[in-house]
Amino acid sequence: MEPTAWPCSGGGENPSKPRSLCDVSDRIPYLNARLQGFGVTIFAEMSALALKTNSVNLGQGFPDTDGPEVVAEAAIAAIRAGHNQYPPVVGIPELRTAVARHQKRFYDIDLDPDAEVQITAGATEAIAATMLSLLEIGDEVVTFEPWYDSYGASIAMAGGVKRVVTLRPPEYAYDGEAFERVITPKTRLVLLNTPHNPTGKVFTRTELEHIAEVCVRHDLIVVTDEVYEHLVFDGEHIPLATLPGMRERTLTISSVGKTFSFTGWKTGWVSGPESLVTAVRTAKQFLTFVSSAAWQHGAAVALDLDDDYYRDFTADMAVKRAVLCAGLTASGLTVHEPQGTYFVNTDIRSLSGEDGADFCLALPERVGVVGVPTQVFYDNVHEGRHLVRFTFCKRIEVLEEASMRLAGLRQTMEADR
């Protein structure tokens, strides 16, 4: 059977033509109705395509260099020291106290590391456990589109219903009225991501204040995904939990993957008021029970790295942003320069492209580069049809190679016309 949608689009107004390069049919036998349509994630699919075509992979967001040696050594030392059995469900005390110190150091948030911090298997498990523990069947979750791909699946697994507010380019501006309109008596929580993947938007204080005011007015819980908290180039990262009335209703999620370039460690945390964290823990303990011991020891060392580490990490990524944005601009694509994260979106219409999915499927053959069609992160696919996301968390020479290849793009597209 032909696939009828990008595999990870999962519901919504899906494109109708077959596009997947993986063998994904539109209906997967045995898979329950809640997960039909989620298929294979776009990241797995595009990374497989990059390998197959020997392309520069600017699709999936993972760095091509390791994080700090001292952090890796701490995990290795933990294994050698015999930290190889189940750690506590809540997480090892060294990591929970490090999370609390980090939140105090950067945001002046006070956390009780015993009651208000839960360690998880990456931010992904934190998001899933949050949805599974807080939602009743039919509860609505408001989030912004384009969204991060696991949100829809986590909400669906929990029996919830995703409702979206669209962030529109080039600024991906927040529309407060649209946000208020989408809230119904069934709304249980708001799932916010700032800095925002895939748009690179960093929500401003004014925007967050409005979100906070609405959440207090409607007595909503907020889950904020802040995995890119240390990747802000323009503006400022403001954790929603720091705004008036939000501490008691906000769960804050982050992880070691992005800030310390250890995406494979899958070690994350969720923090907030004891009542909410306890609920999340109840689900977490039956998903993975505990999270891997050695990585927690490494993560504890990572969070306590000095301010120079954090500053250099952001500065280094800002240089990479400049290199890739220049390369993309020179190729003729319209670049939406991101304020944060390590992703940049481009509008392909400046090269007479219309459909980002077609564009991404042809790009490896045209110039040997892989990107991700941003449309797969939308319920309203037409909103992102002409957008393509590239990541710049790669070595400068890799970004320069990609830029060189992209320089030939206009010619190959014109030759086709």
Q: Which does 166 bind (CB under 5 to 8 A by kind): ligand PMP, ligand GLN, none?
A: none
Q: Pick between residue 341 and residue 403 the one whose CB is nearest to ligand PMP.
A: 341
Quick note: the x/- pattern for ligand PMP over 198-227, rule CB under 6 A, is ---------------------------x-x
Q: Which does 268 bind (CB under 5 to 8 A by kind): ligand GLN, ligand PMP, none?
A: ligand PMP
Q: Which does 120 bind (CB under 5 to 8 A by kind): ligand GLN, ligand PMP, none?
A: none
Q: Pick between residue 179 and residue 262 the one whose CB is nearest to ligand PMP.
A: 262
Q: Pick between residue 255 and residue 403 the one whose CB is nearest to ligand PMP.
A: 255
- Does the bond joining 198 to the residue before it have cis omega, within 30 degrees of 0? yes
Quick note: the x/- pattern for ligand PMP over 346-385, rule CB under 6 A, is ----------------------------------------
Which residue's entry shows tokens 């220049």? 326
Q: Please give the Cα distance from 95 to 74 (Å, whole number).
A: 12
Binder of ligand GLN out of 21, 28, 43, 412 (CB under 6 A): 43
Least gap, CB of 341 to ligand PMP (angstroms):
7
Q: Give the binding-site size for ligand PMP (rule: CB under 6 A).
A: 14
Least gap, CB of 43 to ligand GLN (angstroms):
3
Q: Which does 152 bind (CB under 5 to 8 A by kind): ligand GLN, ligand PMP, none?
A: none
Q: Which two tokens stand for residue 93?
A: 């005390």
Site for ligand GLN in 44-63 (CB under 6 A): 60-61
Site for ligand PMP in 118-147 (CB under 6 A): 122-124
Q: Please give the Cα distance from 207 to 409 (Å, whole number).
A: 37
Q: How many CB atoms lie within 10 A of CB 86?
A: 10
Least gap, CB of 162 to ligand PMP (angstroms):
15
Q: Which does 91 bind (CB under 5 to 8 A by kind): ligand GLN, ligand PMP, none?
A: none
Q: Please give the Cα distance from 121 to 296 (Å, whole number).
A: 10
269, β-bridge pairs: 119, 254
Q: Which two tokens stand for residue 198?
A: 């895939």
Least gap, CB of 410 to ligand PMP (angstroms):
30
Q: Pick between residue 148 and residue 179 the one whose CB is nearest to ligand PMP.
A: 148
Q: Please give the Cα distance from 228 to 231 (Å, whole number).
A: 5
Site for ligand GLN in 166-225 (CB under 6 A): 197
* 296 close to 268: Cβ distance less than 8 angstroms: no
- Does the bond joining 195 to the residue before it have cis omega, within 30 degrees of 0? yes
- For position 341 contacting ligand GLN by CB under 6 A, the verdict is no
Q: Pick between residue 61 and residue 160 the one whose CB is nearest to ligand GLN.
A: 61
Q: Which does 60 bind (CB under 5 to 8 A by kind): ligand PMP, ligand GLN, none?
A: ligand GLN
Q: Pick between residue 331 and residue 341 the one whose CB is nearest to ligand GLN.
A: 341
Q: Please give the Cα distance from 182 to 86 (Å, whole number).
A: 43
Q: Pick between residue 242 and residue 314 the one whose CB is nearest to ligand GLN.
A: 314
Residues that bind ligand PMP (CB under 6 A): 122-124, 148, 193, 197, 225, 227, 255, 257-258, 263, 266, 268
- For ligand GLN, the binding residues (CB under 6 A) are 41, 43, 60-61, 197
